[in-house]
């Protein structure tokens, strides 16, 4: 399987580091950013194939990260993974180009499948 | 509904939505941490003491996370109710949320509460209503029945669309104690006047259906002209 470059972005350190560890046990090698600013810097250095992005974060929030990344790197596939349940946020995220909108907590195998689908979509779009 | 009352409801909604967001994060961390323990146990070639007990405990944690997730998702959805005052509603979906959040009250009375699914061939019953007012009216109607229902009764909620209105029938099915008068009891219920006062601003009415017996809410498909504008 092609190696997928994954970036996980969430300010809940316990959540995101444990999720990363579980992904590693499944053969994936994600990187982690603990806030929006750090995520943008990492994307500027090396755009990931797939980004898992929380919405509610202090500083630059997830929606703004989504907007900026899609503006500069439209081929990065972004999956929103949030505890936030407002329909208008889902509509806005999809309008800005989010590949998928998932709510916490999510089943790891389900999330892994969404990542593979997002990666496949990126390839099919001409990566 | 007065502007100050709308502000109060919006305040409760905003605080509750924020708290449920945090609770989702709590559940997400428990979910991932217990999931990691399961992953590591599955990878372990040794058979540690208490392996079965740990597996059982982790399964229980997973089940409770799913239970909490379901409840918090509904509570979060409910907390976002005041975001838009008047909106087009799928009444089956909206009634389902109220019923889900009312299950605890029904369980305390040993009463079953459900929204009866409409036939799949029928289009969804939709109406443009003030969501908060509709939820309050439906919950109050449920409370009226719960004050009278006997253990083992079923409160079934039927939705239907008429020419220029929609009807929500809350029928209480099952045996009542001999000599009891459900219809008279509903009208005498403590919450009945409150229910009547809640249906009025929706532009609707409430009546007793003596045959079921049931409470029938008759609501317009669009809000009365005096209702607050969307937003």
Architecture of domain B84-220: 2-Layer Sandwich (3.30)
Over residues A24-31, mean pLDDT:
94
B81 touches chain A (CB under 8 A): no
Predicted pLDDT of residue A85: 64
**Are A66 and A101 contacting, i.e. CB atoms less than 8 angstroms apart?**
no
B200: CB partners within 8 A, 6+ apart: none
A13 touches chain B (CB under 8 A): no
| ipTM of this predicted structure | 0.80
pLDDT at A24 over 60: yes
Q: How far apart are CA B83 and CA B230, in angstroms?
A: 10
Of A7 and B78, the structure prediction assigns the larger pLDDT to A7
Q: Is the pTM of this model over 0.90?
A: no
Over residues B19-38, mean pLDDT:
91
pLDDT at B231 over 50: no
A83 DSSP β-pair partners: none
Q: Which residues of B touch A105 (CB under 8 A)?
A: 24, 27-28, 30-32, 65, 69
**Are B99 and B115 contacting, i.e. CB atoms less than 8 angstroms apart?**
yes
B85: CB partners within 8 A, 6+ apart: B6, B130, B131, B132, B228, B229, B230, B231
Residue ranges of A 58-77 with Cβ closer than 8 A to chain B = none
Residue A126, phi-psi category: left (phi > 0), alpha (psi -120 to 50), beta (remainder): left
pLDDT at A96 over 90: yes
Distance from CA of A79 to the nearest CA of B (A): 16
Domains of chain A with CATH codes? 6-124 (3.40.50.2300)
B219 DSSP β-pair partners: B166
Which of A14, A19, A104 would best serve as a mutation to test chain B binding (most B beta carbons within 10 A)?
A104
Predicted pLDDT of residue B230: 43
Q: How far apart are CA B162 and CA B145, in angstroms?
A: 24
Over residues B23-43, mean pLDDT:
91
As a whole number, the mean pLDDT across chain A is 93
pLDDT digits (tens, 9 = 90+) for B211-223: 778 999 999 998 7
Work out the pLDDT band at B48, boundaries 50, 70, 90: low
pLDDT at B1 over 80: no
Percent of chain B residues past pLDDT 90, beyond the cut: 44
The phi, psi pair for B92, rounded to 5°, reads -65, -45
Query: Which residue from A minimizes the CA distance to B75?
Result: A85
Q: Where are the domains of chain B?
A: 3-82, 84-220
pLDDT digits (tens, 9 = 90+) for A36-65: 999 999 999 999 999 999 998 889 999 999
Work out the pLDDT band at B229, boundaries 50, 70, 90: very low
**Helical residues (DSSP H) of chain B, grouped into ranges:** 3-43, 51-79, 91-108, 131-146, 182-188, 192-199
Of B108, B109, B185, the closest CA to residue B144 belongs to: B185
A23 DSSP β-pair partners: none
Q: How far apart are CA A68 and CA B86, in angstroms?
A: 33
pLDDT digits (tens, 9 = 90+) for A61-91: 999 999 999 999 999 999 999 987 677 889 9
pLDDT at A35 over 90: yes
């Amino acid at each position: 399987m092609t190696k997928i470059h994954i970036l996980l972005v969430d300010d809940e350190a316990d959540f995101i580091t444990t999720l990363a560890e579980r992904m590693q046990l499944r053969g994936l090698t994600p990187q982690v950013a603990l806030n929006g600013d750090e995520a943008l810097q990492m994307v500027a250095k090396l755009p990931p194939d797939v980004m898992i992005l929380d919405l509610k974060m202090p500083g630059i929030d997830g929606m703004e990260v989504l907007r900026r990344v899609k503006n500069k790197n439209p081929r990065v596939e972004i999956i929103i993974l949030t505890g936030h349940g407002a329909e208008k946020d889902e509509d806005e995220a999809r309008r800005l180009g989010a590949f998928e909108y998932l709510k916490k907590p999510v089943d790891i195998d389900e999330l892994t499948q969404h990542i593979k689908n997002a990666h496949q979509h990126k390839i099919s779009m001409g990566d | 509904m007065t502007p100050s009352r709308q502000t109060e409801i919006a305040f409760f909604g905003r605080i509750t939505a924020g708290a449920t967001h945090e609770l989702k994060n709590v559940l997400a961390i428990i979910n991932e941490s217990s999931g990691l323990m399961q992953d590591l146990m599955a990878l372990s070639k040794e058979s540690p003491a208490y392996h079965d007990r740990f597996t059982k405990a982790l399964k229980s944690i997973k089940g409770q996370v799913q239970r909490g997730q379901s409840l918090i998702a509904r509570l979060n959805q409910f907390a976002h109710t005041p975001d838009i005052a008047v909106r087009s509603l799928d009444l089956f979906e909206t009634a389902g949320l109220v019923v889900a959040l009312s299950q605890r009250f029904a369980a305390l009375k040993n009463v079953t509460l459900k929204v009866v699914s409409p036939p799949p061939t029928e289009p969804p019953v939709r109406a443009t209503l003030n969501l908060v007012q509709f939820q309050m009216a439906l919950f109050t109607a449920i409370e009226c029945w719960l004050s009278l229902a006997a253990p083992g009764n079923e409160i079934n909620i039927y939705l239907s669309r008429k020419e220029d209105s929609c009807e929500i029938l809350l029928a209480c099915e099952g045996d009542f104690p001999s000599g009891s008068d459900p219809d008279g009891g509903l009208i005498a219920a403590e919450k009945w006047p409150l229910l009547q006062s809640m249906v009025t601003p929706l532009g609707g009415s409430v009546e007793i259906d003596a045959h079921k017996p049931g409470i029938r809410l008759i609501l317009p498909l669009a809000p009365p002209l005096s209702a607050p504008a969307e937003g």
